[in-house]
Amino acid sequence: MDNVKLVEKLHSQKAKLYDEIAKVIIGQKDIVERLFISLLCKGHILLEGVPGLAKTLLIKTLSDVMDLSFNRIQFTPDLMPSDITGTDIIEDNAETGKREFKFFQGPVFANIILADEINRTPPKTQAALLEAMQEHKVTTGGKTYTLEEPFFVLATQNPIEQEGTYPLPEAQLDRFMFNVFIRYPSASEEMDIVKSTTGASEVTLNKIIKRKELLEFQELVRNVPVADNVIEYAVNIVGKTRPMSENAPQFTRDWLDWGAGPRASMFLVLGAKARAVLDGRTTPDISDVKSLVKPVLRHRIITNFNAEADGIKTDDVLDKLIAD
């Protein structure tokens, strides 16, 4: 199938996918789009929101309508790396009569992983998941095991409770394509949520996109052509986040200690490609890049004391960059 037909197919499948998810998830259309864009780009998402906003239900619903395997890992202070990746266990071999090690896969061996409250576990365990995210492989007992594609991680953080947590360092935050904030629903959405969750009816979800189709769509995104002016815009806006850069505006020098690296430019362009094909277009434009500036950059720039004193948040700086 040629690229144009694949774009048309993905665009039509998107509407069906969103309608199916809407049977369970009320509102949150922007979050659903971010999830799907990241999945198409083979990226991962860090999702922040207070408890009770259906973060777990959202990602479970996505896996159900796409016919993908799903595992949830609850991160706790006593979680060990082997609890995620799997472990070698001694077993008796019935044929030889000898005892030998057999590898039992951990919960990371699934297409979609929900890493719940990733900042509640020590850095050593965080690193085990982040290595799998980066390499799509797990190494244990001197052997390497390849994770089945597609492999997508959605990690959550609770922005309220920070006591006894292990914040992700900047180098590890950079592994996530998007940092997305999930907001409270509107009053009308909350009424619909209450009605749908307090009744006796059960929702049956249909499989909209098969695993093989998703792999085709991921390949399609990589093959989408991008005009030089779109790439130039992405590179320039990332460059403007770096206080030492010649092109940095004064507010960047005043409010930021560190800017984003080249991976941000890459994710902006890749995300713009996915957004364009989801919209039925064969190439992205600058508006696609602009729409993704916040989720791509907000966890890659570091505000300083001056910003805190002026009451400036990360998103305030990014709003000014978009408008600049």
Q: Could you tell me if 49 and 96 lie in one domain?
A: yes
pLDDT of 281-322, one tens digit each? 889 999 999 999 999 999 999 999 998 898 989 999 999 999
pLDDT of 189-206, one tens digit each? 778 778 777 766 677 777
Query: Whole-prediction pTM value?
Result: 0.88
Burial classification of residue 199, based on how many CB atoms lie within 10 Å of its CB (0-12 exposed, 13-18 middle, 19 or more buried): exposed
Q: Could you tell me if 209 and 230 lie in one domain?
A: no
Q: Could you tell me if 132 and 182 lie in one domain?
A: yes
- DSSP tag of 167: P
Q: Could you tell me if 76 and 6 lie in one domain?
A: yes
Report how many domains make up the chain: 2
Residues 287, 275: Cα–Cα separation, whole Å: 10
> Which of 281, 282, 315, 310 has the alpha carbon at shortest distance from 298?
315
Q: Could you tell me if 91 and 236 lie in one domain?
A: no
Query: Cα dist. 71→9, 108, 161 in Å?
Result: 28, 7, 24
Determine the pLDDT at residue 161: 63
Residue 106 belongs to domain spanning: 1-220
Burial classification of residue 89, based on how many CB atoms lie within 10 Å of its CB (0-12 exposed, 13-18 middle, 19 or more buried): exposed
pLDDT of 16-62, one tens digit each? 888 888 777 777 778 888 988 999 999 999 988 777 777 778 888 88
CATH number reported for the structural domain that contains residue 181 in this entry: 3.40.50.300
Residue that is last in its domain, among 168, 192, 220: 220
Helices first, then strands: H and E counts in the chain: 14, 11
Whether residue 284 is preceded by a cis peptide bond, meaning omega within 30 degrees of 0, is no
Report the Cα–Cα distance between both ends of the chain, in Å, rounded.
Answer: 41
Opening angle at CA 37, ends 139 and 222, nearest 5: 75
Residues 6, 40: Cα–Cα separation, whole Å: 13
